[in-house]
Structure formats: structure tokens, C-alpha cells
Amino acid sequence: MSFPISEASPIRFAAPLPVRADVVVIGGGVIGVMTARFLRERGLSVVLCEKGRIAGEQSSRNWGWVRQQGRDPGELPIMVESLSIWKRLAAEMGDALGFRQTGVLYLAKTDAEIAGFEAWTEHARANGVDTRLLAAGETMAMLKGAAAPWKGGLFTASDARAEPWVAVPALAAAAEAKGVAIREACAVRGLDLAAGRVAGVVTEAGRVACDHVVVAAGAWSRLFLGQHGVRIPQLSVLASVAATEPMPEIFPGNAADDDFAFRRRADGGYSIAPGGEHDFFIGRGAFASLRFYLTILRKDFRSTTFRLAAPKGYPDAWGTPHRWAMDRESPFERMRILDPAPNMSSLSAVQDSFARAFPTLGRPKLKTAWAGMIDSLPDVVPIVDHAPVPGLTIATGMSGHGFGIGPGMGRVVADLVAGHATGHDLSRFRFSRFSDGSRIEPGPSL
């Protein structure tokens, strides 16, 4: 399969839909795939429906970082578990995931950034993570040919990288081998409710009866849930990434400052991206959710490029319907895969920043570029909770952190659905935090 994954990509998963299953998972990204796998391991029958292709959207378009470093304190224990699952999966599956523990390095230009790094090390120590604060000399010694005036760094040697567009389909194949029924090109149009609780789902290929549904639909979750009166203030931002031509290794892992980020790729190049910049399409959801985002806008306004409208068919485009009949084509069938054009101006600035930081290498040549739509929430942590509709569980708004935490979060969501102890405090991710008067507290912007 070539990258980026598109509607033209061959269908790899075409399981027949059963009349009934214990659980239907909506969304074939890493969260949905790993949730389905762990549910099956709990002995439940599981159907995973993906409207486009497995990992067709953000789960294949992300940076490929598997990081504990810089995580929100609520996420960090789950991420520690997730890293251990990644290691186990890599041992089981060989090199299919491209998994390498090559470390994550954050680079600081200012004393304020150093102070932020130092504050976060308290969370690392509390969770047994091997994070170290580096002085300027130590930082420069880790990067071959670096000339940028970084004052220091934050380094976690146990953090890792993987190749997203091959890893997530490989994980889906492993889930299928365990008995998960996976169906691509099969949109779920909505829930079938009886006496106010989940009784099944209506897909474009027919109804599947079930007692539980997990919505892990990424950027589409808000639109799907809103059809059933479940309101979440989720929005999506466009993040641009490029792959360079093969080039000498300057660092074997993942690194970032506020101008650019990079990850060594298995093909000998680097994935490069803006360090913290993204684009936002203004739509109806932006106005409806503005009050929730005021805190983070005040904190991080300049990192966002605002655009007047999303492309036709996108979840928050002005013309996208918010209501539809179950027996007719839904918005999920009209737009199978979000494939936004990357912001080439931002990527050009990244090339320039990279060249200034590593002058002996010069300006990196790009082999390809792409973009993805990141499902985000106002406090930059997800909703992982049961919805007010009995039988419905939400796992969305991973805010750009989903790839690395996917295996661990999938295990947590599976046990939440199965009624087992999750082993973690999930209060940070509760659905009610946006309606119970709680103050919006964004996580650390590391």
C-alpha cells in the first residue's frame, strides 16, 4: 500500500458484517484498532467499521513519535503502559511496526523553556520515566553538526519512534487474526436506540445489533455524536508534515524546538514538521465552542493560522449537514478520507529553520508532503468515558497524541467497555468536564 492512504488504496479488510456482535467500534485509527483488539482478548465479539481505510486519516499522517516525554500528568501513566505494549508488540511482530527506542529530545532556546522542562521532570520521576535535563553542551553533543544556539534540552532515552502508515494497518491485521471483524469502506450512519440505550448501529451495508458502541472516529466524532444529541467541544486542526530525501543521520530519534520537529525515518530520511504551528478552518463548531477555547487561545494564539472555511464535505464545513436520515447517504460516505493539502509555506519555513540549525547539511530536499486533521479538545487531552446514552463509550480528541498512546489507551477503553478496572485514574478525561462548571486546564505544552 502506498502513502498517503486514499480512497484509491486497495481494500484490505472486508469482513462480512454479522447480524450481531457484543461491541461495534467506529473508527479504524490506532485507538479504534487497539480497542477492538483488547476487547476481543477479553472474549467479546467485535466489529470494527471504518468509513474509508484503516489509518487513512491522522493515524497514518502523524509524526510517528512514541513519547512519554512532555505528556499531560493524566496521560503519562497510560503512556508508560503504552510504551511497554509497543515493546511487546514489536517483539511479537518483528520489524512490521518500524519500532525503535531511539529517544526524544526537546530543545530549548530560552530560560523560560528550560524552566518548563525542569518542572515537567517532576512528573517523569513520579512515573519512573528516565527523563534527563541537559545542559547546552550535552544537548549540542547529541546532534551532529548542530549550530543553533540551544540553551539546553530534555531527553528521554526510552522514548521511541515507529512508521505510522505501515504500523497501524499491521496492528489491524494482527487484531483481525485474533478474531476482530474489520470492514473498510463501511460507514456507520448512526446508532439504533431502543428505550434510550444502544441496541445496534446502522451502517451503509446494513444493521448490526450490539449492546455497546465505541466512538473512536477522530475528527468525525463530534459530527457523529451530535446526530444523537451528545455534544462535545471537539474541533480539528490541520497539521502539515513532509518526508525528506535520504540524508546523513544527525540524531537517530525524534527532536523538536518551537520552530521545527524531526524524526528519523526507516528510509534514511527525516519526517519534518513545524514545531508547534497548525492551521484552523473556521466553521460552525468554532463559534459553538469558542468559550471553551478561550484559555488556550490566550496562551497559544500565534501558533494558529486561521482560514475562513473548511473544504467541502469536511466535518465542520459550513455545508456539511448535522442531521441525516439513516436510510440515505451520510456525510461519512461523501467524504471517506480527509486528505487536506499541506501548508507548503509552513514547511518551507521548516526547511529554512532546519538549514540554519544544521548548516553543513543545507536545506533538506523534500520527497513528499502531506497533512492531517488532528481531533483536539480545549484542554489538549481526550474524552475517554461513557456517554450519557447507555451502551455508548467515547474515545476521541487525542489532540495529536494518539499514535504513541494508542496501544495503552486501547487497553483502557476496552476494559472501560467491558466493565473491568482500568488501572488508571480517568477523571481528567471525563465527558462531564465541559458541562459541570469545571475550569478548563490545558496540559503542558511540551
The contacts of residue 386 (CB under 8 Å, 6+ apart) are 392, 393, 394, 416, 431
State the pLDDT at residue 276: 82
Q: Is residue 300 part of a domain?
A: yes
446 pLDDT more than 80: no
Between strands 104-108 and 254-256, the pairing is parallel
Return the pLDDT at 301: 61
Inform me whether the pLDDT recorded for 418 exceeds 90. Answer: yes
Q: What is the pLDDT of residue 3?
A: 83
Give the structural domain span for 230: 23-434
Q: Picking from 1-10, 37-46, 66-75, 252-261, which range would have the lowest pLDDT averaged per residue?
A: 1-10
Residue 54 domain flag = yes
**pTM, 2 dp:** 0.97
Instruction: Give the pLDDT confidence score for residue 302 in this predicted structure.
Output: 64
Handedness of CA 335, 338, 342, 343 (dihedral sign): positive
pLDDT 10s digits, 333-375: 999 999 999 999 999 999 999 999 999 999 999 999 999 999 9
pLDDT digits (tens, 9 = 90+) for 112-169: 999 999 999 999 999 999 999 999 999 999 999 999 889 999 999 999 999 999 999 9
Tell me the pLDDT of the chain averaged across its residues: 96
Would you say residue 253 lies in a domain? yes
Beta 131-135 vs 152-156: how paired, if at all? antiparallel
Read off the C-alpha cell for 346. 509552513
How confident is residue 103, by pLDDT bands cut at 50, 70 and 90?
very high
Q: Give the integer Cα–Cα distance in Å for 410 and 202.
A: 24
**341 inside domain:** yes
The total number of structural domains that make up the chain: 1
What pLDDT digit, counting tens, does each position of 158-199 carry? Answer: 999 999 999 999 999 999 999 999 999 999 999 999 999 999
Indicate which CATH number applies to the domain containing 242. 3.50.50.60
Confirm whether 85 is domain-assigned. yes
Please report, rounded to a whole number, the percentage of residues in the chain having pLDDT higher than 90: 91
Q: What is the pLDDT of residue 297?
A: 75
| Residue pLDDT, tens place only, 279-321 | 999 999 988 998 898 887 776 666 788 898 899 999 999 999 9
Q: What is the pLDDT of residue 303?
A: 76
Report if residue 113 sits inside a domain: yes
Shortest CA distance to 266 belongs to which of 13, 3, 29?
3
